[in-house]
A and B are shown apart, each in its own frame.
Chain A
Amino acid sequence: MDIEEVKRRAGPREFSPKDDMPEEYRKAATRMIQFHANSEIMGAYLERPFIREAPSLDRKLACSAKVQDEIGHGQLLYRAAESLGMKSRDQMLDELAEGKGKFLNCFHYPMSDWVETPMIAFFVDGAAMRRQATLKRTSWEPYAHAMDKVCFEEGFHVKHGEAILHELMTGSKAEQEATQEAFEEWWPRIIQFFGPTNDKSTHHGFASEVGLKQMGNDELRNAFLNAYIPKAEKYGLEIPDEPRIRKNDDGTYEVVEEDLDWDEFFTIAKNDYEGSIQQIDGRKAAQDAVEWVREVMDEHEQRAMGASKQQAAD
């Protein structure tokens, strides 16, 4: 199939491994899904310490289940990415360990306190859910299919994050203040989650034309702000003065882009930020420590295969 035909046919769940897709499409789709899968893994990496920090039994269970879900999403998404025939899962996991794999900006910042957990589990996951909901209509069918399960589970995560936020904002004055402080620190990062405006985004055009991307950065950010500014205010959080957010007459929001630190954003996008290096290397060290297990399993598999060949020869 040539690119023109892809563009002509591009619709929800239109293409699958049965189709002969041009390399340009397969590359773009792999880049997008790999980014998504990496983000699931790095999000789980960021949140894992808070299983231990959880201040109740039920919450501990929920935190463990959430981290497990994110790893499960990573597993599903790597499979969807593999189905494009460009890279194997091992290759993508290696790239992530080596700092070549890209992932969401918010997961590059270290997180140290419990009051920060709803910033991820409520706001970032809420933002992610907006985007993921549109991806149920992406043109690569295995990706759309993975989104069915991912979106279903993300719904629980956002509720979990919202409940933690509610607990904190109805708790002691100190809890409320610490939560507001965390919110102010995370708010600009959360707004940057959607990336720069459409005309500055390098990959937007092609991905939209071939139906991989269903909605632009601006539209998604708008939808998120429309839903989450009232929610933040409902729980008693004050929206920081910067970045300036203007409400238009038609009910949409406009963020004054120059109020956001785009140098930091693009440093993060290259994995060059201080936090990026910390998160990537931390995860790599954890993976290196169990490399011996994967080697033992490889040996085992090879020997088992050798033995069955021997048997067949007998």
Chain B
Amino acid sequence: MAAKESLPAPGELSDDQREAVEHLLYRLADDEFVAAERYTEWQVRSPTLESDLALANIAQDELGHARLWYDLLEDFEYTESELVWERDADEWRHSTLVEQPFETGDWADVILRTYLYDQAEYIRLEALEDSTYPRIRDRITKIIQEEDYHREHAENWMARLAEEKDGLERLQGALDDLFPYALTLFAPTDETVEDRIDDLGLRSKSLDVMREEWLDVVVPYLEDLGLDVGDAELPEQYDVHHSEFELPADVGRDRSHTDAWFDLQEEFTNTYRELDRHEANRIMKDPDEA
């Protein structure tokens, strides 16, 4: 496939182009922000001091990535306040996987969640390496490097937990709960806009192709560990879709969310509202200068 021509600078995009870029960025930024918000719940609550430090690292990486993606949305004259602190909860586009609450002590959930999420994250970042939007392309290398560590961390824990009976049972419980939500990672925000994202070459693989790739990686891996993925059947080729998987009622991408999200959003905007803030203070260097 011939390389497509790069899109113009943020201010020079057509309305259709801009809409496609925005949808893509909201998918990325909201996922990372909300995933991190949940991961930080494990700080000072992880099983060992070492795992505490590791989870905190991962949360900060994801938060940092969210910051990089929101920064690109700020190119379109949005402020951080509008993007994060004052945006209505039913305007967010993250997958419902990342907003799920953790049951107290459910370490199997966070490990499995990071595994499912980071495998998908890796596939979608690879599909952005040659994006026709230069501002996205330029930020991929740094992010992809950090994701390697996340996948390694998750796989180490998965392997150890799965070898013990109690650990395997708990992983299975988490898998039953999370798998349908994980599939929403590949759900469209809006069919037309998602097609346009592909046509413009903003990403090199469609959601369906990425979903098949992801299933090809995670299903055999989970089954090898002795976990049951339900109706999973491996496709022989990418055009065989796993249509038998049912998505949950709320997929997130289309701005439908589970109750837990509304509680979470209420909590993390609490101080901002209570202090009656109208702007979010920046204390670090702009990502373009860093």
**B-contacting residues of A (Cβ < 8 Å)?**
41, 44-45, 48, 51-62, 64-65, 67-68, 71-72, 74-75, 78, 113-114, 163, 167, 171-172, 174-175, 283, 285-297, 299-300, 303
Contacts and interface: CB of A to CB of B under 8 A. Distances in A.
Contacts of A54: 271
Contacts of A48: 40, 43-45
Given A48-B44, A283-B44, 10 more contacts: A48-B45, A52-B40, A53-B268, A55-B277, A57-B67, A57-B80, A64-B56, A285-B104, A286-B105, A293-B47
A59 B85 CA distance: 13
Contacts of A171: 275, 277
B45 A65 contact: no
A291 B75 CA distance: 47
A296 B80 CA distance: 43
30 contacts: A48-B43, A53-B268, A53-B270, A58-B281, A59-B281, A61-B60, A64-B40, A64-B56, A65-B56, A67-B43, A68-B43, A68-B52, A68-B57, A71-B43, A71-B49, A71-B52, A75-B49, A75-B50, A114-B274, A163-B283, A283-B44, A287-B45, A289-B104, A293-B161, A293-B167, A296-B161, A300-B163, A300-B167, A303-B163, A303-B164
Contacts of B67: 57-58, 61
Q: How large is the interface on B (under 10, 10 to 19, 20 to 34, 35 or more residues)?
A: 35 or more
B45 A290 contact: yes
Nearest to B104: A289
Nearest to B39: A64
B43 A55 contact: no
Contact of A290 (B46, B161, B164, B268): B46
Contacts of A45: 44
A64 B43 contact: yes
B45 A72 contact: no
A303 B11 CA distance: 61
B63 interface: yes
Nearest to A293: B47
Contacts of A56: 80, 85, 280-283
Nearest to A172: B276
A68 B53 CA distance: 6
A58 B270 CA distance: 16
Nearest to B167: A296
A293 B271 contact: no
